[in-house]
Structure 1
Amino acid sequence: MIQIEQIHHVAYRCNDAKETVEFYKDVLNMDFLVAIAEDRVPSTKEPDPYMHLFLDAGNGNILAFFELPTKPKMDRDQNTPAWVQHIAFRVKDEAALLAAKAEIESKGISVIGPTEHGIIRSIYFFDPNGHRLELTYVKGTDEQMSELKRVAPLMLEEWSRTKKAPKHAAWLHEEEFNGLD
């Protein structure tokens, strides 16, 4: 039986390796761990020069990027809204979230939020490659998290049948939308 210990890294494409490393070091205080560059892809052996970067996202989490200079300019999936694909990073608490927002905005980066999600509160912004980033802190109680886990299979089954949003966890955003009807 497979036993996953953790995600080793997630990898995304970037437009410029140096600009990407500088952004994540300067804006999110990530340590630049490793750079690997090859003229051939090790797994496929195809000729395709690349720069592969690894950044420390904390607690053993690694964020990686590839710059691919011989490929067409990077773009995003035009059939997927920009808010869907994102990388979320956890911060300690609300004070850390608000301090991060102020610091990011002081660097001239536009930030959305804080946005209330019931069990978490988040801010959103984009890196220089167009990847949407989220900083969030968890504020949900153990009881709330247990209830969400309990109703998850019920919600998935209902969604699978109807393709309409099940209401089992509507309480997550009820306060946000009260009075907006």
Structure 2
Amino acid sequence: MKIEQMHHVAYRCKDAKETVEWYGKMLNMDFVLAIAEDHVPSTHDPDPYMHVFLDAGNGNVLAFFELPTKPEMGFDPNTPRWVQHIAFKVKDRDELIAFRDHLEKNGVEVLGVTDHSIFHSIYFFDPNGHRVELACPDPEEDQLLARLDEVKWQMLEEWSKTKRAPKHAEWLHAKELADV
């Protein structure tokens, strides 16, 4: 048994129409499907919803639920806002910068470009408060990933015992930290 690919990832949204329009305008995602019901098919709960699906490229689908009868969306106060996020890959650094400029021109506050060595990212929030990351590969991505692959199990084992960041890959953000 093996998972073939991600079918879709679903998040809650405040307003389905606003969300579809924002992702279309800001990230050029196509609106591909809408499903609306008065009852949840899996639980049979009476709970009207609008479920919208967006094309995130390469067979990946990003979906949202608008739940008008539920309390307003909130965030887990025990989880920092930067932890839970949606990350999308773009072709290269030029495209990443073009997206950053486009987002900023349209009033979206963007953080980065952040150099993670293996890839480079920008970060921003959608109209629902979900953190979004756009990332492009570093030209040396394959070699850098190979270095990380060599130490992944040792890092995981050390972390599981100490709950302290292992130093096997501290080179990843050394350049970024030197700029601070």
TM-score, scaled to structure 1: 0.96
Supply the distance in 1 between the matched residues of 2:169 and 2:8 (Cα, whole angstroms): 30
Which has the larger displacement, 135-144 or 72-81? Answer: 135-144
Q: Give me the identity figure in percent.
A: 63
- Could you tell me which amino acid in structure 2 is paired with residue 163 of structure 1? K
Supply the distance in 2 between the matched residues of 1:88 and 1:116 (Cα, whole angstroms): 15
Supply the distance in 2 between the matched residues of 1:34 and 1:161 (Cα, whole angstroms): 45
Supply the distance in 2 between the matched residues of 1:179 and 1:67 (Cα, whole angstroms): 41
- Could you tell me which amino acid in structure 2 is paired with residue 25 of structure 1? G
Q: What's the secondary structure of 1:173's corresponding residue? A: helix
1:11 alignment partner in structure 2: 10
Q: What's the secondary structure of 1:89's corresponding residue? A: strand
2:34 alignment partner in structure 1: 35
2:155 alignment partner in structure 1: 155
Which has the larger displacement, 91-100 or 169-178? Answer: 169-178
Deviation at 1:12, TM superposition (A): 0.2
Deviation at 1:147, TM superposition (A): 1.6
Supply the distance in 1 between the matched residues of 2:179 and 2:7 (Cα, whole angstroms): 44
Supply the distance in 1 between the matched residues of 2:107 and 2:123 (Cα, whole angstroms): 14
Q: Superposition pairs for residues 18-167 of structure 1, below 5 Å?
A: 18-139=17-138, 140-167=140-167
Unaligned runs of 5+ in 1: none
Count of equivalent residues: 179
Which whole-Å deviations, capped at 9, do the CAs of 1:31-67 have from their partners, x for residues lacking one?
Answer: 0000000000001111000000000000000000000
Moved over 2 A (4+): none
CA contact (8 A) 2:82 2:131 kept: yes
